[in-house]
Protein backbone atom coordinates (compact mmCIF):
# COMPACT_ATOMS: atom_id res chain seq x y z
CA UNK A 1 0.00 0.00 0.00
CA UNK A 2 1.40 3.39 -1.00
CA UNK A 3 2.00 5.71 1.92
CA UNK A 4 0.23 9.08 1.77
CA UNK A 5 2.22 12.14 0.75
CA UNK A 6 2.04 14.64 3.59
CA UNK A 7 2.48 18.30 2.69
CA UNK A 8 3.13 20.76 5.49
CA UNK A 9 2.70 24.49 4.92
CA UNK A 10 4.41 26.24 7.81
CA UNK A 11 4.08 29.88 8.79
CA UNK A 12 5.56 32.09 11.47
CA UNK A 13 3.54 30.42 14.24
CA UNK A 14 5.59 27.22 14.04
CA UNK A 15 8.74 29.16 15.02
CA UNK A 16 7.45 31.32 17.88
CA UNK A 17 8.42 28.60 20.38
CA UNK A 18 11.97 29.01 19.07
CA UNK A 19 11.91 32.67 20.11
CA UNK A 20 11.16 34.15 16.69
CA UNK A 21 8.25 36.62 16.82
CA UNK A 22 5.54 36.41 14.20
CA UNK A 23 4.64 39.35 12.00
CA UNK A 24 0.86 39.58 11.77
CA UNK A 25 -0.37 38.08 15.02
CA UNK A 26 -1.84 40.17 17.85
CA UNK A 27 1.69 40.93 19.08
CA UNK A 28 3.33 40.72 15.68
CA UNK A 29 6.24 42.88 14.61
CA UNK A 30 4.34 44.88 12.00
CA UNK A 31 1.58 45.72 14.46
CA UNK A 32 4.06 46.88 17.08
CA UNK A 33 6.41 48.82 14.79
CA UNK A 34 5.07 49.81 11.33
CA UNK A 35 8.37 51.60 10.64
CA UNK A 36 10.12 48.24 10.76
CA UNK A 37 8.30 47.24 7.58
CA UNK A 38 10.38 49.75 5.61
CA UNK A 39 13.52 47.81 6.47
CA UNK A 40 12.23 44.84 4.49
CA UNK A 41 10.53 46.73 1.65
CA UNK A 42 12.55 46.46 -1.56
CA UNK A 43 12.02 49.97 -2.96
CA UNK A 44 12.81 51.63 0.39
CA UNK A 45 15.86 49.43 0.83
CA UNK A 46 17.28 50.13 -2.63
CA UNK A 47 16.64 53.88 -2.52
CA UNK A 48 17.82 54.80 0.97
CA UNK A 49 21.33 54.07 2.36
CA UNK A 50 20.04 54.84 5.86
CA UNK A 51 17.37 52.15 5.53
CA UNK A 52 20.09 49.72 4.46
CA UNK A 53 22.28 50.69 7.40
CA UNK A 54 19.37 50.10 9.80
CA UNK A 55 18.56 46.83 8.05
CA UNK A 56 22.10 45.53 8.57
CA UNK A 57 21.95 46.51 12.24
CA UNK A 58 18.65 44.62 12.53
CA UNK A 59 20.26 41.56 10.92
CA UNK A 60 23.06 41.63 13.49
CA UNK A 61 20.46 40.85 16.18
CA UNK A 62 18.17 38.68 14.04
CA UNK A 63 16.89 35.87 16.26
CA UNK A 64 16.22 33.70 13.22
CA UNK A 65 19.96 33.34 12.67
CA UNK A 66 20.57 31.92 16.16
CA UNK A 67 17.32 30.08 16.86
CA UNK A 68 17.07 26.36 17.51
CA UNK A 69 14.32 24.05 16.22
CA UNK A 70 11.45 23.35 18.60
CA UNK A 71 9.24 20.31 19.15
CA UNK A 72 7.11 21.05 16.07
CA UNK A 73 10.09 21.24 13.68
CA UNK A 74 11.55 18.07 15.21
CA UNK A 75 8.23 16.23 14.81
CA UNK A 76 8.15 17.03 11.08
CA UNK A 77 11.68 15.68 10.62
CA UNK A 78 10.80 12.58 12.65
CA UNK A 79 7.81 11.90 10.41
CA UNK A 80 10.11 12.08 7.39
CA UNK A 81 12.63 9.71 8.98
CA UNK A 82 9.85 7.23 9.72
CA UNK A 83 9.40 6.62 6.00
CA UNK A 84 6.25 8.65 5.42
CA UNK A 85 6.77 10.84 2.33
CA UNK A 86 6.89 14.44 3.58
CA UNK A 87 7.36 17.77 1.82
CA UNK A 88 7.54 21.09 3.61
CA UNK A 89 6.49 24.35 2.01
CA UNK A 90 7.46 27.13 4.38
CA UNK A 91 6.76 30.84 4.50
CA UNK A 92 9.57 31.16 7.03
CA UNK A 93 13.15 32.18 6.28
CA UNK A 94 14.73 30.78 9.45
CA UNK A 95 15.97 27.42 8.14
CA UNK A 96 14.72 25.61 11.24
CA UNK A 97 13.12 22.73 9.32
CA UNK A 98 16.51 21.86 7.85
CA UNK A 99 18.26 22.37 11.19
CA UNK A 100 15.77 19.92 12.72
CA UNK A 101 16.80 17.28 10.22
CA UNK A 102 14.58 17.71 7.16
CA UNK A 103 16.65 17.23 3.99
CA UNK A 104 17.00 20.58 2.20
CA UNK A 105 15.65 19.06 -1.03
CA UNK A 106 12.35 18.35 0.74
CA UNK A 107 11.91 21.94 1.99
CA UNK A 108 10.58 24.64 -0.32
CA UNK A 109 11.35 28.11 1.04
CA UNK A 110 8.73 30.38 -0.53
CA UNK A 111 10.29 33.54 0.87
CA UNK A 112 13.96 32.60 0.65
CA UNK A 113 16.49 32.25 3.45
CA UNK A 114 17.77 34.70 6.05
CA UNK A 115 21.00 32.71 6.19
CA UNK A 116 22.15 33.97 2.78
CA UNK A 117 22.77 37.25 0.94
CA UNK A 118 22.39 38.07 -2.75
CA UNK A 119 23.68 40.93 -4.89
CA UNK A 120 20.88 42.96 -6.46
CA UNK A 121 23.07 43.68 -9.51
CA UNK A 122 25.07 40.55 -10.42
CA UNK A 123 23.06 38.07 -8.31
CA UNK A 124 26.16 36.60 -6.66
CA UNK A 125 25.27 34.77 -3.46
CA UNK A 126 27.06 34.41 -0.15
CA UNK A 127 26.59 33.61 3.51
CA UNK A 128 24.78 36.06 5.77
CA UNK A 129 27.33 35.32 8.51
CA UNK A 130 30.15 36.61 6.30
CA UNK A 131 28.27 39.82 5.49
CA UNK A 132 27.45 40.41 9.15
CA UNK A 133 31.12 39.91 10.02
CA UNK A 134 31.88 42.79 7.65
CA UNK A 135 29.27 44.93 9.41
CA UNK A 136 30.79 44.04 12.77
CA UNK A 137 34.16 45.11 11.35
CA UNK A 138 32.82 48.56 10.53
CA UNK A 139 31.04 48.43 7.14
CA UNK A 140 27.64 50.13 7.49
CA UNK A 141 26.35 48.89 4.12
CA UNK A 142 28.67 46.17 2.80
CA UNK A 143 28.66 46.07 -1.02
CA UNK A 144 28.93 42.97 -3.18
CA UNK A 145 32.54 41.76 -3.27
CA UNK A 146 32.11 40.69 -6.90
CA UNK A 147 30.73 43.84 -8.51
CA UNK A 148 30.18 46.48 -5.81
CA UNK A 149 26.39 46.25 -6.08
CA UNK A 150 23.91 46.48 -3.24
CA UNK A 151 23.69 43.37 -1.09
CA UNK A 152 20.43 42.22 0.46
CA UNK A 153 19.23 39.28 2.45
CA UNK A 154 18.38 36.26 0.26
CA UNK A 155 14.76 36.66 1.31
CA UNK A 156 11.78 37.96 -0.63
CA UNK A 157 11.18 41.53 0.50
CA UNK A 158 7.87 43.34 0.34
CA UNK A 159 7.49 44.54 -3.23
CA UNK A 160 9.37 41.59 -4.74
CA UNK A 161 7.78 38.71 -6.60
CA UNK A 162 8.22 35.14 -5.47
CA UNK A 163 10.35 32.87 -7.64
CA UNK A 164 7.97 31.27 -10.19
CA UNK A 165 9.99 28.03 -10.14
CA UNK A 166 9.58 27.77 -6.37
CA UNK A 167 5.86 28.51 -6.64
CA UNK A 168 5.56 25.84 -9.33
CA UNK A 169 7.16 23.25 -7.06
CA UNK A 170 4.82 24.21 -4.20
CA UNK A 171 1.78 23.92 -6.48
CA UNK A 172 2.83 20.48 -7.69
CA UNK A 173 3.16 19.24 -4.11
CA UNK A 174 -0.22 20.74 -3.16
CA UNK A 175 -1.88 18.92 -6.06
CA UNK A 176 -0.20 15.59 -5.36
CA UNK A 177 -0.48 15.34 -1.58
CA UNK A 178 -2.93 13.15 0.31
CA UNK A 179 -2.79 15.16 3.54
CA UNK A 180 -2.15 18.91 3.68
CA UNK A 181 -1.40 20.47 7.08
CA UNK A 182 -1.29 24.26 7.33
CA UNK A 183 0.42 25.13 10.59
CA UNK A 184 1.11 28.51 12.18
CA UNK A 185 -0.01 30.56 9.18
CA UNK A 186 -2.65 33.26 9.09
CA UNK A 187 -3.33 32.13 5.48
CA UNK A 188 -3.77 35.77 4.48
CA UNK A 189 -0.76 36.11 2.18
CA UNK A 190 -1.00 34.96 -1.43
CA UNK A 191 0.09 32.90 -3.23
CA UNK A 192 1.06 30.78 -0.21
CA UNK A 193 -2.45 30.78 1.24
CA UNK A 194 -3.90 29.68 -2.09
CA UNK A 195 -2.02 26.39 -1.85
CA UNK A 196 -4.56 25.35 0.79
CA UNK A 197 -7.41 25.68 -1.69
CA UNK A 198 -5.42 23.85 -4.39
CA UNK A 199 -4.80 20.92 -2.06
CA UNK A 200 -8.46 20.77 -1.01
CA UNK A 201 -9.62 20.96 -4.65
CA UNK A 202 -7.39 17.97 -5.48
CA UNK A 203 -8.85 15.83 -2.72
CA UNK A 204 -6.32 16.21 0.08
CA UNK A 205 -7.42 15.93 3.69
CA UNK A 206 -6.95 19.46 5.01
CA UNK A 207 -5.87 20.14 8.59
CA UNK A 208 -5.36 23.71 9.86
CA UNK A 209 -3.38 24.24 13.06
CA UNK A 210 -3.49 27.90 14.05
CA UNK A 211 -4.33 29.95 17.13
CA UNK A 212 -6.69 32.27 15.26
CA UNK A 213 -9.32 31.68 12.56
CA UNK A 214 -8.15 31.72 8.95
CA UNK A 215 -9.98 32.47 5.67
CA UNK A 216 -9.72 28.77 4.75
CA UNK A 217 -11.22 27.23 7.89
CA UNK A 218 -14.47 26.31 6.11
CA UNK A 219 -12.50 24.03 3.75
CA UNK A 220 -10.75 22.18 6.56
CA UNK A 221 -11.49 18.62 7.56
CA UNK A 222 -9.97 19.36 10.95
CA UNK A 223 -9.15 22.61 12.77
CA UNK A 224 -6.80 22.59 15.76
CA UNK A 225 -6.50 25.61 18.05
CA UNK A 226 -4.14 24.00 20.57
CA UNK A 227 -0.53 25.24 20.95
CA UNK A 228 1.51 24.12 17.94
CA UNK A 229 4.33 22.71 20.06
CA UNK A 230 2.03 19.99 21.40
CA UNK A 231 -0.64 19.77 18.69
CA UNK A 232 1.62 19.15 15.70
CA UNK A 233 3.72 16.38 17.28
CA UNK A 234 0.48 14.63 18.30
CA UNK A 235 -1.02 14.94 14.82
CA UNK A 236 2.13 13.67 13.12
CA UNK A 237 2.46 10.78 15.54
CA UNK A 238 -1.08 9.74 14.62
CA UNK A 239 -0.15 9.89 10.92
CA UNK A 240 2.99 7.84 11.51
CA UNK A 241 1.32 5.14 13.58
CA UNK A 242 -2.13 5.18 12.02
pLDDT single digits (tens) 95-146: 999 999 999 999 999 999 999 999 999 999 999 999 999 999 999 999 999 9
User: What pLDDT is stored for residue 35 in this prediction?
Assistant: 73
pLDDT < 70 regions, the chain: 1-3, 22-34, 242
- Phi/psi of residue 173, nearest 5 degrees: -65, -40
202 is catalytic: no
User: What pLDDT is stored for residue 1 in this prediction?
Assistant: 42
Which ranges constitute the DSSP H helices of 4-113? 29-32, 42-47, 49-60, 71-81, 96-100
> The domain that contains 100 carries what CATH number?
3.40.50.1220
DSSP 119: E
User: What pLDDT is stored for residue 33 in this prediction?
Assistant: 65
User: What pLDDT is stored for residue 26 in this prediction?
Assistant: 46
Q: Are residues 130 and 229 in the same domain?
A: no
* Beta sheet of 151-155, edge-to-edge order: 125-127, 112-119, 151-155
User: What pLDDT is stored for residue 116 in this prediction?
Assistant: 96
- Which one is catalytic: 111, 115, 123, 202? 111
The span from the CA of 133 to the CA of 120, in Å, is: 20
Q: Which domain holds residue 105?
A: 1-19+68-111+161-242
Q: Are residues 144 and 206 in the same domain?
A: no
C-alpha 197: how far from chain center: 19
C-alpha 22: how far from chain center: 11
| Domain end call among 155, 188, 211 | 155
When divided into structural domains, the chain yields a total of 2
Q: Are residues 88 and 172 in the same domain?
A: yes
Q: Are residues 190 and 215 in the same domain?
A: yes
Q: Are residues 14 and 27 in the same domain?
A: no
CA-closest candidate to residue 55, choices 152, 134, 193: 152
Q: Are residues 166 and 190 in the same domain?
A: yes
Q: Are residues 130 and 181 in the same domain?
A: no
Q: Are residues 27 and 105 in the same domain?
A: no
Amino acid sequence: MTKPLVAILSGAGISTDSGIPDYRGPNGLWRRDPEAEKLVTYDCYMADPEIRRRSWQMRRTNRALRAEPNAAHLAVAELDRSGVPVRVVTQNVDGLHQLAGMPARKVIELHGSAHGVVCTRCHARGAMADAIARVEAGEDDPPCLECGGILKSATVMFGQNLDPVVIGEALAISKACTVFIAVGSSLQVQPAAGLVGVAADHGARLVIVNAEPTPYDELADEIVREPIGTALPRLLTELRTG
